[in-house]
Structure 1
Amino acid sequence: MYTEKEVKMGAPQGSVPLTSTVINMQTETPGRDYVVWSLFNTLFLNWFCLGFVAFAYSVKSRDRKMVGDVLGAQSYASTAKCLNVWALALGILLTIGVIVLLSTRLQFGFRLYF
């Protein structure tokens, strides 16, 4: 969103005609791009490569933000956020599941074949 502001510049009245300048100012700040969260999910909770895909969308969102495409940046950031939520939830659940599975197998004396 751009708004127009008019600024009057010039000499005192009567001597020189007044000139006006229009300044376009961006009132809406671009949203978050979730790069740090995506990097965390990529490095630590990368089950099914969701963290890596979220990181790619986060970088695309940051690129769009730098170019000035606010709607494109918001679209990529929304996708990155959704992928980060899924990567975090699945990563936590699967990590807990593996820990529980390994601890129960060790508790009952089963051999591990890895």
Structure 2
Amino acid sequence: MLKEEQEVAALGAPHNPTPLTSTAIHIHSKTSVLDHVVWSLFNTFFMNSCCLGFIVFAYSMKFRDRKMVDNLIGAQAYASTTKCLNIWVLILGIIMTILLIIIPILILQVYQ
């Protein structure tokens, strides 16, 4: 046996009259959920194809409501839906813009 083990064995159990207590520390980590409101506003004003920009903006407002009441699971669900819809609205808006440029050029070339 080591010297420290012999000393602990000789001393026995501690004779402390106070009961043992434990302390629990709860650390609340604020999960950062991205806010897509600015992107939704851009899509609403400039890329509002088939009025999807308004729908995306409504989802981003629902996200903010959930975030304000500390419903992080609901906020994350609305954030992912908003991100997906923003991507689709942006792609559709770019395609429609390109088509609005290309189609008149093609029509002008056909009639010349």
For Structure 1 versus Structure 2, the TM-score category normalised by the shorter chain is: 0.7 to 0.9
Partner of 1:99: 101
Structure 1 pair 88/68, CA: closer, same or farther in 2 (3 Å)?
Answer: same
Structure 1 pair 78/41, CA: closer, same or farther in 2 (3 Å)?
Answer: same
1:21 Cα deviation (Å)? Answer: 8.5
1:34 Cα deviation (Å)? Answer: 0.4
Q: In the aligned structure 2, how far is the partner of 1:21 from the partner of 1:66?
A: 31
1:50 Cα deviation (Å)? Answer: 1.2
Calculate the TM-score normalised by the size of structure 1.
0.71
Asked if structure 2 preserves the Cα contact closer than 8 Å seen for 1:47 and 1:87, the reply is yes
5+ residue gaps, structure 1 = 1-19
Q: Over aligned residues, Cα RMSD in angstroms?
A: 2.0
Aligned partner of 2:45: which letter?
A: L
Partner of 2:48: 46
1:24 Cα deviation (Å)? Answer: 4.5
1:63-102 alignment, distance < 5 Å: 63-102=65-104
Calculate the TM-score normalised by the size of structure 2.
0.72
1:103 Cα deviation (Å)? Answer: 1.4
1:33 Cα deviation (Å)? Answer: 2.4
Aligned partner of 2:89: which letter?
A: A
Superimposed CA distance per residue, residues 80-106 of structure 1 (whole angstroms, 9 cap, x where no aligned partner): 111100000010011101110011212
RCO greater where, 1 or 2, for CA within 8 Å and sep 6 or more?
2
Partner of 2:39: 37
